[in-house]
Amino acid sequence: MIKGKGVSTGIGFGNIVILKNEIRKIEKNIVEDSDEELERFHKALQEVIDETSKILEKATGTEKEIMTAYLMIMQDPSLTAETESQIKSSKVNAEYATETGFNSVIQIFENMDDEYMAGRARDIADIKDRIIGKLYNEEKIDLSKLKPNTIIVAKELTTSDTAKLDFKNISGIITEVGGENSHTSIMARTHLLPAVTKVENATMILKNGEYVAINGENGEIFENPTEEQQQNLIKIQKNFIENKVELEKYRNSESKTKDGFKVELVSNIGTPADVELVLKNTAEGIGLLRSEFLYMDSEKMPTEEEQFNSYKEVAEKMQGKQVIIRTLDVGGDKEIKYLKMEKEANPFLGYRAIRLCLDNSQIFKPQIRALLRASAYGNIAIMFPMISSIEELRKAKVVVEECKKELDNEGKEYKKDIKIGIMVEIPSVAIIAEEIAKECDFFSIGTNDLIQYTVAVERGNEKISNLYSKYHPAVIKLIKSSIDGAHKAGIFCGMCGEAAGDELLIPLLVGLGLDEFSMNPNKILNSRKIINMLDKKECEKLAEEILKLGTTSEVEEKLKEFNKKIV
């Protein structure tokens, strides 16, 4: 069994087709007729443009957005100017001129301050490779005409590769590189295909034509699976399909219990591209947009304008539904190279998130200004992470007011009454919930860190992972304290940790009075189904019983008993 990172859930069976990047040795040749060579280049370029245009005609949603931007790049005359100049002035062959000409453009893009533009270097490299492939008359696998039940394996799939994929005949995707927010992962989730990334040397280990099974949930890949393995995966797949059909009934249902208690089911997302999944799963808003996507995997800090454009895009797409955006939350397990953060003995207890931002106005202010400006285009709310005291919250609010005055002086629009909330992820805040709730507009309980700080267990430490549990009685009591404190102050309380989408915990959270459940978009329909089956009064009784328990195992057992009654 081979292990990677599951980025799109589902089970896939099929035969492998390996896409290997061509390694070419491009030689420099002097040609007699530069006009003829220039014509060869233009013909190859036009063929690539025509292919892309055909793909764009059939594209919809996220795929259309990606391919429209890609086509605009290749139609820009400045992209080919250097190549054309070399062919004319130096009389070199088109292959060599394309390689060197495009590489000079790629280098310029890679060195740009604008992160979006720097990220386009990979798209330009893809266009270059496609043109050179045409010049060499290379025969590539026709990705639009694959055999049924194909498992695609590649080092990485380029924008053009992904757009050309014959999704109806693909059973799964395996790549060596790429994360949850890569084009490949996004498109796999859009087409409901299992996908596994970060499989080291996949193109060398796996073989063309080999029969494999993949699990996009946990990242497992089985080469020539045994009958037992296949049957186990078929059971998982069958349950997945049956559940999917069942959940369609809840797509347009209200998120309320049998006795009328309404809650909001919203989504956690990592990039603007995930909004399509949010809308597809009929979430009622976004309970957590992690703003780190603008800062991570970049050599430079994003500008205010870059941030503004990203937040504005999400706000507009959500069409008035609330979008809660968390300010920069780095440190601990999330480092950013260019911030030059010092190594700490206990990074999870150190200089991170709001602590870092309050000390660095050059980081914090551009983000707050961008969030305020974007609020003029939709229902944006600002959320501060890692707040541990009322004093910290007050300092953060002062920065917001300073930014508002600056924007007023500049004549820039923003939502005057924008909501300000905090993550409840440190026990100190859960304990003083009633007091700190008077200073903000909403809470969102971050259970992932709240558990870690309550039971003193680093969640990534496998040796003590058995001690890390969302069912710990102390964690349950802190959740209750947070909800009660919020309600006494007249504000709403949500939850954006993994616990919000936990089937066992949902009845308890309803009983405790949680107002908003924020989760992975793919969990929305299942959570709505569960909530529709609940009775609020019965959930309140469950909460009363669980708050009297003293051990994690007792809590979990009681939740399982209740779950059996409603399923």
**Where does CATH 3.20.20.60 sit in the chain?**
257-564
Q: How many CB atoms sit inside 10 A of residue 385's CB?
A: 25
**Residue 304 pLDDT > 60:** yes
The pair of structure tokens assigned to 392 is 């910290």
Residue ranges with strand state E in 191-279: 195-197, 211-215, 220-223, 264-269
pLDDT by residue (tens digit) across 37-86? 999 999 999 999 998 888 788 777 666 777 777 788 888 888 888 899 99
List the single range of 164-168, 180-184, 255-259, 323-327 with lowest mean pLDDT: 180-184
* Unique residue bearing structure tokens 């603008």: 294
CATH T-level topology, domain 257-564: TIM Barrel (3.20.20)
Beta carbons of 542 and 509 less than 8 angstroms apart:
no
| CA geometry: angle 26, 182, 1, nearest 5 deg | 90
Q: Is the pTM of this model over 0.85?
A: no
Set 357, 440, 493, 496: catalytic member:
496
| Selection from 405, 326, 418, 420 nearest residue 374 by Cα | 418
Give me the mean pLDDT over the 492-515 stretch. 95
Say which amino acid occupies 57.
E
Give the orientation angle of helix 34-58 with respect to helix 77-90, to 10 degrees: 160
The pair of structure tokens assigned to 335 is 């480092």
**Where does CATH 1.10.274.10 sit in the chain?**
34-136
Positive or negative, the CA dihedral 461, 462, 464, 467 is positive
- Give dist(CA 258, CA 66) in Å, integer: 42
Q: What is the CATH number of domain 2-20+142-236?
A: 3.50.30.10
| Selection from 206, 80, 66 nearest residue 131 by Cα | 80
The pair of structure tokens assigned to 89 is 């002035």
Set 183, 357, 403, 539: catalytic member:
183
- Give dist(CA 503, CA 287) in Å, integer: 18
Q: What is the pLDDT of residue 307?
A: 94
Beta carbons of 120 and 66 less than 8 angstroms apart:
no
The pair of structure tokens assigned to 236 is 């998982």
183 a catalytic residue: yes
Q: What is the pLDDT of residue 7?
A: 86
Q: Is 26 helix (H, G, I), strand (E, B) or coil?
A: coil
Which DSSP string do the residues of 509-535 spell out, in sequence order? HHHHT--EEEE-GGGHHHHHHHHHT--
Task: Tell me the β-bridge partners of 256.
Answer: 262
Beta carbons of 216 and 196 less than 8 angstroms apart:
yes
| Selection from 322, 320, 313 nearest residue 294 by Cα | 313
pLDDT-based confidence at residue 474 (cuts at 50, 70, 90): very high
Question: Cα dist. 215→1, 84, 234, 485 in Å?
Answer: 11, 47, 11, 42
The per-residue b/e assignment along 101-120, b for 16 or more CB within 10 angstroms, e otherwise, is bbeebbeebbeeeebeebeb
pLDDT by residue (tens digit) across 278-294? 998 999 999 999 998 78
357 a catalytic residue: no
List the single range of 118-127, 197-206, 276-285, 339-348 with lowest mean pLDDT: 339-348
DSSP state, 92? B
**Residue 116 pLDDT > 60:** no
| CA geometry: angle 156, 105, 99, nearest 5 deg | 70
List the single range of 26-30, 185-189, 352-356, 480-484 with lowest mean pLDDT: 185-189
For residues 308 and 295, which has the higher predicted lDDT (pLDDT)?
A: 308
Say which amino acid occupies 134.
K
- Give dist(CA 518, CA 502) in Å, integer: 11
For residues 126 and 408, which has the higher predicted lDDT (pLDDT)?
A: 408
| Selection from 112, 114, 96, 105 nearest residue 31 by Cα | 96
Beta carbons of 215 and 233 less than 8 angstroms apart:
yes
For the segment(s) 34-136, the CATH number from 3.30.70.20, 3.30.1380.10, 3.20.20.150, 1.10.274.10 is 1.10.274.10
- The whole-chain average pLDDT of the chain stands at 89
Q: What is the pLDDT of residue 57?
A: 81
Residue ranges with strand state E in 241-293: 264-269, 286-290
**Residue 332 pLDDT > 60:** no
**Where does CATH 3.50.30.10 sit in the chain?**
2-20+142-236
Alpha helices in 444-504 (DSSP H): 447-455, 473-488
Beta carbons of 175 and 154 less than 8 angstroms apart:
yes
* Burial of 477: CB neighbours in 10 Å, binned 0-12, 13-18, 19+: middle
Beta carbons of 386 and 355 less than 8 angstroms apart:
yes
| Selection from 456, 465, 550, 562 nearest residue 509 by Cα | 562
**How many CA atoms lie less than 13 Å away from 174 in the CB half-sphere?**
37
| Selection from 314, 229, 310 nearest residue 277 by Cα | 314
The set of residues, in sequence order, having a beta carbon less than 8 Å from that of 343 and lying 6+ positions away, is: none
Q: What is the 3-state secondary structure (H, E, C) of 312-374?
A: HHHHHHCCCCCEEEECCCCECCECCHHHCCCCCCCHHHCCCHHHHHHHCHHHHHHHHHHHHHH
